[in-house]
Structure 1
Amino acid sequence: MNPSLTCSCPAHSPMRPVALAEGLLAVQCDDCHGMLMDMDDWRAWKAGDASRVPQAVDDEVIEVFDATAVRHCPECQRLMQRLRMSAGPDFRVDRCVACQNLWFDQGEWRAIVSRGLAGRLDEMLSDGWQRRLQTEVVREARVAALRRRYGDVCIDELDRIRAWLDTQPHRDELLALLRAD
Structure 2
Amino acid sequence: MNCTNCGAPLPPQTNRCSFCHTLNDVDLRAIPRGPDGGVEPSQRSCPRCDEALEIVPLNIADGFGIDRCRKCQGIFFDPGELESILDESVSKVYEVDYPRLAKLVEEEGIKEFREISYIKCPDCRQVMNRKAYGARSGVIVDQCRDHGVWLDGRELHVLLHWVKAGGQIHQKDREAREAIEEEQRRAKLAGPIDDRPIFTGSHRYERMIDASDLFRAVRSITDILF
TM-score normalised by L of structure 2? 0.40
- In terms of Rg, which structure is larger? 2
